[in-house]
Chains A and B, each alone.
Chain A
Amino acid sequence: MLTASAILTDGLVYAAYLFIVAVGLTLIFGVMKILNVTHGSFYAFGAYGAATAVGIYTNGDWPAALGFLFMLGFAMAIGLVMGIILERGLLRLVYGKDEVVIVLVTYATFLILEDVIGLVWGTASYAAYQPMIAAGNIEIGDLVLSNYDIVLVVLAAVVAALAYWSLKFTRYGRLLTTVIYDRETAAAFGINVTLVYTVTFLIGAALGALGGAVMAPKISVTLGIGVEVIVLAFAVVAIGGMGSIEGALVGALIVGICRAAAVHLVPQIELFVIYGVMALVLVARPYGLFVRAQPRKI
């Protein structure tokens, strides 16, 4: 019984974190058809930014809640700055090239940014556990939960709800849906596709950095964290269907629960299970759970 509830809570927490990271990736893919490897860098920069922010506010003796918000805001600001530099400075030049070539461009950028991290923050690891400690624990029956994890789940739910609401009910969201559906028609109707691209990329980048920021207190912030995260995020997005927000949510839940189950029951297959599920889903539904294949016409 305890194992079951532990699997469920661990899985949910892990899913929350995966969703926050993956939603930006899937958004960018849905709108721009770019599989953005640089998302791993956004994550890493977010985590490092958060560590720096935690350093600032613990030295300044701020209240914990304010410190937490400052940490998120600081990281997202870094994401926004990186996003605008990348999109305006580089990606703009390669729009219209093969999807695969654009993947390579983002991969190259990812490699460059890996070393930029080292140059800015050095090679030492950072610990930013203070927010996690400050939040404390809560006991429910036999289960001990970290309040920080609960905040993480709530935050993921808020991001999901916000994404859903803004796509369905705001003007910008409807613009996005039009562009996702048919780029040429959207342009023909006078929608500023260039602007939509820039805004989308910025939102995606900020979400990637947010993912890194919320994880920073739970991990050791060290070189190479983006490398691992990007393939995980790929798995989540591929399972759900690239470009689908619901897909990212369901994909995150599947991966989260499967991994938690593996960790508690058969720890040897922890990594195997994630990519195994991904391969299985892709075999059954090549375009993921929430995206349909489009028939080719002659």
Chain B
Amino acid sequence: MTPILDVRDLEKTFGSLVAARDINVSVPAHQTVGVIGANGAGKTTFINMITGHLRPTKGSIRFEGRDITGKPSREIVRLGISRSFQVAQIFPTLTVFENMCIAAAIARRKSGLLGNILTPVTSPAATSEAEAAIDLFQIARYRDVTANALPQGVRKLLDIGMAVAGSPRLLLLDEPTSGISIEEKFDLMNVVMSALKSRKITVLFVEHDMEIVAKFADRVLAFYDGTVIADGTAHETLDNPRVQELISGVRLKAASHA
């Protein structure tokens, strides 16, 4: 079967700075992949290249067999790859429902030059998807709250929910638990992961907390100095001596994974 994501010899340089190099990763559908590595190891650059925010200097990215290298973000999103952000990117002046509804409506708009104009934003398809996503991410009690008044955890859920409302098949989560207190992290990840599982979405998530990685990832990629230095099951990667040596914090937690 074709992998859902196939990355070959990916490289990104900014002048003389090498942000990513020799990245080769193939992800089969329905896998949950954790991405670890210190700050500046190239994780976000990797995500930014897949989602079209950065154009790779070299290499290719295939999604479901189709070459998407260097395509603009909006096209990649329409093909079925969504992302969430390290700092939640939501529309602060709109309510939770309106945020979701916009996301759902954009994904369900009519095609063609005038599709944006001919599709009402509150079409039944869009509103029912918005309600469904709100329920799925368990934020129904914030439904009519303006987004800039939301607590941090709900902002994160809304951000991911908006990505999911576009019905992607591959979702990239950039540090879904950053800015969340330790007590809340697991609850948040439980909500997110069971939501994604129920929608059968393949996930790549960047995470610094190794307990979370160990608990939720089927497979873990370790980034160091712009490239992947270990790729295997959570167990294999976290126990890898190079990973333990090069990525701080790994040593302590490697034994506790499930």
Contact = CB atoms under 8 A, between A and B. Distances in A.
- The reply, when asked whether chain A contacts chain B directly with Cβ atoms under 8 A, is yes
Interface of A: 298
Nearest to A296: B53
A298 B85 CA distance: 8
Interface of B is mostly: loop
B48 interface: yes
Contacts of A298: 48, 53, 85-86, 89
Q: Is the interface of A mostly helix, strand, loop or mixed?
A: loop
A94 B58 CA distance: 48
* Contact size range, B: under 10
Nearest to B53: A298
5 contacts: A298-B48, A298-B53, A298-B85, A298-B86, A298-B89
A298 B83 CA distance: 12
Contacts of B53: 298
A298 B52 CA distance: 13
Contacts of B86: 298
| Closest CB pairs A-B (n = 5) | A298-B85, A298-B53, A298-B48, A298-B89, A298-B86
A102 B4 CA distance: 50
Nearest to B85: A298
Interface string B32-55: 000000000000000010000100
Interface in B84-119: 85-86, 89
A298 B175 CA distance: 13
A298 B53 CA distance: 9
Interface string B171-191: 000000000000000000000
A298 B89 CA distance: 9
Nearest to B87: A298
A284 to B, nearest CB: 22
A52 B48 CA distance: 63
A298 B206 CA distance: 15
A29 B53 CA distance: 31
B179 to A, nearest CB: 15
A298 B84 CA distance: 11
B213 to A, nearest CB: 22
